[in-house]
Amino acid sequence: MTHVLLSLGSNTGDSTENLKLAIANVNALDMTEVIAVSSVHKTAPWGKTDQPDFLNQSVLVATDLNVAELMENILQIEKDMGRVREEKWGPRLIDIDIILFGEETISTPELTIPHPHMHERRFVLEPSVEIAGHMIHPVIKKSVSELLLMCELNTSQ
């Protein structure tokens, strides 16, 4: 099984319930099991700042799905929960991003893993350290914990 780090975010509707439902839906996927869940972090929006604060959470899963199958299932969970993609970095009912997929690196028009901005986003790194601080970014070759320390030194985000 591959260990996969997911980042979840919500800033519309009942964000707490949105996160809980998304985690339950991920755990219900075939050949996938949630093995750790971070605490919930309230954070300012990133990229597009004129919107409500987000609730963010990280989830560590073990899966036998390949990355394309997992991504397809995640997009379906978002759609089933009512996610409508209207604007980049805009408000959202639920957002589920694959941050790390084991030690794989993937670069396609549809998907980039490791997530290309993970090392710049404290709202991803802070909850991720709680459950997966040991995971290594396969390109930067630093642990999630080390990435958070670097992020804190280099940015206020």
Catalytic positions are: 83, 92, 95, 97
What radius of gyration, in Å, describes the C-alpha atoms of the chain? Answer: 14
Helix ranges, 9-132 (H): 15-27, 67-80, 122-132
Q: Is 141 left (phi over 0), alpha (psi -120 to 50) or beta?
A: left
Distances (CA, A) of 58 to 43, 109, 131, 154: 13, 24, 8, 22
- Per DSSP, 81 falls in state T
Is 90 within 8 Å of 10 (Cβ atoms)? Answer: no
* Closest to 153 (Cα-Cα) out of 133, 112, 125: 125
